[in-house]
Amino acid sequence: MFRMLLCQLVHLRPKNISRRFSEGIESIMVSMTYWVVRHAEREDNINSSWQSSSTLKSDNSPLSKRGQGQADELAVRFSNIHLDHIFVSPFDRTLETATRLLRGHNNATIKVEPGLCEGLYMCEDPPGYEDLNILKGKYPLVDTCYKSVMPWKLPSEGDGDKACTPRVQMTLEGIEKRFPGTEVLLVSHGAPIGAIHEVLGGSWKYVGQATVSKFVKKPKGGYIKELSGDASHLSDKTNLRPW
């Protein structure tokens, strides 16, 4: 991109060079991309008695066998995609999805971000995700030095899927303020991803499990929605539960 910019500058009059160069540099510097992935299929989607063999809370189902396979297919899709930062909801299903997805990314770390948590009205009180140090033991990619945008104990929010939207907006604003101009992966849940679509794309949308959405910042502000709920990487696209 720099090479193209310099070639364009050769044909400009001197008085226009400074303005065009600064505009070009600005468009490069403010570029930001959000890749957004919903966690893969949960065990409680297909097994109502899963807790009989688990110590996890009722709102913290791990991935099913199919979900693990979906996450492995996500890994293939993202194998050649550069990612600067990975932010993941603290629930096991999102952390396992992210860990499997990142298998081909050397030196990748996971920033656990409570702001990407499921809508609180669907969670236990408090939400059933585990302590950060416990998560580090289960998921070695977790970066325990990361200071999350939202507190580990989230403030209360109302009922309904859209009640998480203010929290999600604060999270996105905090991430962009700290890490401007980067390629970011967010791994979250149905309601928060609906909110991400509203905040970045202008309208709420439910997407299926293990699907990919992508938002790219425009030079003069706002975002372009390049992908939304894309499942092209999945070998089995049936029953992805887009709600």
Whether 47 is in a domain gets the answer yes
User: Are the C-beta atoms of residues 112 and 135 closer than 8 Å to each other?
Assistant: yes
Residue 110 lies in a domain: yes
Among residues 37, 100, 46, 35, the alpha carbon closest in space to that of 73 is found at 100
Residue 7 resides in a domain: no
pLDDT in tens, the chain (243 residues): 444 444 444 444 444 544 444 444 444 445 899 999 999 999 999 999 999 999 999 999 999 999 999 999 999 999 999 999 999 999 999 999 999 999 999 999 999 999 999 999 999 999 999 999 999 999 999 999 999 999 999 999 999 999 999 999 999 999 999 999 999 999 999 999 999 999 999 999 999 999 999 999 999 899 999 999 999 999 999 999 997
145: in domain: yes
Q: What's the token pair of residue 35?
A: 């890749």
Please report, for the domain that includes residue 132, its CATH number: 3.40.50.1240
Look at residue 30 in the predicted model and tell me its pLDDT.
59
Residue 10: per-residue pLDDT: 44
In a domain, 25, yes or no: no
Q: What is the pLDDT of residue 157?
A: 97
Q: Cα separation of 45 and 47, whole Å?
A: 6
Q: How many domains does the chain have?
A: 1
Q: Are 116 and 94 in contact (CB under 8 A)?
A: yes
Per-residue confidence (pLDDT) for residue 114, from 0 to 100:
99
Residue 234 to residue 216: CA distance in whole angstroms: 23
Q: Which residues of 147-171 are buried (b: 16+ CB within 10 A; e: fewer)?
A: ebbbeeebeeeeeebbbbbebbbeb
Q: Which domain holds residue 73?
A: 31-230
Domain annotation covers residue 16: no
Would 41 be classed as within a structural domain?
A: yes
| Cα–Cα distance measured from residue 221 to residue 202, given in angstroms and rounded to the nearest whole number | 13
